[in-house]
Amino acid sequence: MAETFLFNALRAAIDEEMHRDPSVFVLGEDVGQYGGSYKVTKDLYEKYGDLRLLDTPIAENSFTGMAVGAAMTGLRPIIEGMNMGFLLLAFNQIANNAGMLRYTSGGNFKIPLVIRGPGGVGRQLGAEHSQRLEAYFQAVPGLKIVACSTPFNAKGLLKSAIRDENPVLFFEHVLLYNLKETLPEEEYLLPLDKAEVVREGNDVTILTYSRMRHHVLQAAKTLTKSGYDPEIIDLISLKPLDFETIGASIRKTHRVIIVEECMRTGGIGAELIASINDRLFDELDAPVLRLSSQDIPTPYNGVLENLTIVQPTQIIEAVEKMLTNPY
């Protein structure tokens, strides 16, 4: 495939999977005639018709519950959250039924369901449209949580998520839809539970995901010029965490910085730190450092919004500090 936008990579994944398996269908607000708010289902309505691109009323909890029911009885629904924040209204169905029902039913049912859509902080969209939700869902048993970050991984991961037999919460980032990349011509799948080593290095392990991957890469340009050699890992799977990859890196660098967009309190980073302490405490030469968003609703004002999320300069400072003042 030629240079492909991230939104088109997702579209291709859905198109290929719908073509391959007639039980795959998409439901959500404006996914059909409108083609999706971020064009991820553009023109698929014409191709697959109104039942496979089901335009729903604005009834998130109920259409999510419907998807659970359809999944229990043999279909493979893909829910598009027009903005992942709107799925807060579907929290009950996601937590109780998508997440827990397989267990509660003692294995009677499985729920092959993908819930995907844009999350994260955009450009001055206001608090409710700039949510960092991944951590809210992290505690729900039975859910897999994935965050894509490039057109390449978006496509391969989404295809795997659609084929997975479990409910997968699939986070896209509202500011990454227009990233471009040349994709392979041939079909490919990526594992849902594998972190991606984005840059190999020896000094410090930087754990990140979603849009912050790009902030870290930006910071790395400056850092490498000054002679630092960070290892950058994109977590991809926020649940379960890929401790094989994370562990291998920490055993090499003995230092960890986490860069995340979610809240500091109860965030993905908080869980990472706890797990690193559990498993790898003896490997650490320094306390794990965590750069997270501020614990506030995302403010509309641009100056405050920039202060709320981690900026590349903060990442540079954190690495410099950790590596120049070894404990």
Partner 1 sequence: MLHVCPHPLTLFPKKGEGELDSKSLPRMGEGFRVRDSKLGCTPFVNSDSQKMLLSLVNRGTIVQVEWLSVKIPVIKKTSHSCCQGHYILMVKERTLPAIDTSTLQISHELGLKLYEDMVLGRSFEDKCAEMYYRGRMFGFVHLYNGQEAVSTGVIKGMRPDDFVCSTYRDHVHALSAGVPPRQVMAELFGKATGCSKGRGGSMHLFSAEHHLLGGYAFVAEGIPVATGAAFQTRYRRDALGDPAADQVTACFFGDGASNNGQFFECLNMAVLWKLPILFVVENNKWAIGMAHERATSQPEIYRKASVFGMPGVEVDGMDVLSVWSVAQTAIARARAGEGPTLIEALTYRFRGHSLADPDELRSKSEKEEWFSRDPIRSLSTYLTDNQICQDTELKRIDQNIKTLIEDAVEFAENSPEPDPRDLYKYVFAED
Burial 205-235 (b: 16+ CB within 10 A, else e): bbbbbbbbbbbbbebbeebeeeebebbbbbb
Residue 87 within binding range of ligand TPP, rule CB under 6 A:
no
Rule CB under 8 A: choose which of 1, 66, 75, 89 binds partner 1.
89
- Which pair of tokens denotes residue 290? 């965590």
Q: Which stretch binds ligand TPP (CB under 6 A): 38-46, 69-77, 81-89, 196-204?
A: 81-89
Distance separating alpha carbons of residues 246 and 269, to the nearest angstrom: 13
Q: Which of residues 104-143 bind partner 1 (CB under 8 A)?
A: 122-129
Task: Return the residue of 6, 18, 24, 29 that touches ligand TPP, per CB under 6 A.
Answer: 29
93 binds, among ligand TPP, partner 1, none (CB under 5 to 8 A by kind): none
* Tokens coding 272: 């990472």
Query: What's the closest the beta carbon of residue 174 comes to partner 1, in angstroms?
Result: 11
Minimum distance between the CB of residue 311 and partner 1, rounded to whole angstroms? 13
- Catalytic annotation, pick one of 17, 29, 80, 129: 129
Nearest distance in Å: CB 85, ligand TPP = 8
**Which residues have a Cβ under 8 Å from the Cβ of 24 and sit 6 or more positions away?**
14, 17, 18, 52, 75, 76, 77, 78, 162
**Could you tell me which residues come within 8 angstroms of residue 46 by beta carbon, excluding any fewer than 6 positions away?**
none
- Shortest distance, position 60 Cβ to ligand TPP, whole Å: 6
CA 20 to chain centre: 25
CB neighbour class for 271 (10 Å; exposed up to 12, middle 13-18, buried from 19): middle
> Between 26 and 45, how does the x/- string for binding to partner 1 read (CB under 8 A)?
---xx--xx--x--------
The correct pick among 12, 27, 82, 121 for binding ligand TPP (CB under 6 A) is 82
* Minimum distance of ligand TPP from residue 200's CB (angstroms): 42
Count the residues of the shown chain that bind partner 1, applying the rule CB under 8 A.
Answer: 38
Active site residue 129: yes
- Strand, coil or helix: what is 209? coil
- Is 214 one of the catalytic residues? no
Best CA proximity match to 216, nearest among 145, 295, 131, 309 = 309
- Distance in angstroms (rounded) separating the CA atoms of residues 33 and 45: 6
Q: Is 229 helix (H, G, I), strand (E, B) or coil?
A: coil
Which residue, 48 or 152, has its beta carbon nearer to partner 1? 48
Query: Which residues contribute to the site for partner 1 (CB under 8 A)?
Result: 29-30, 33-34, 37, 49-51, 55, 57-59, 61-62, 85-86, 88-89, 122-129, 294-297, 299-304, 307-308
Q: Which residues are catalytic, by number?
A: 60, 129
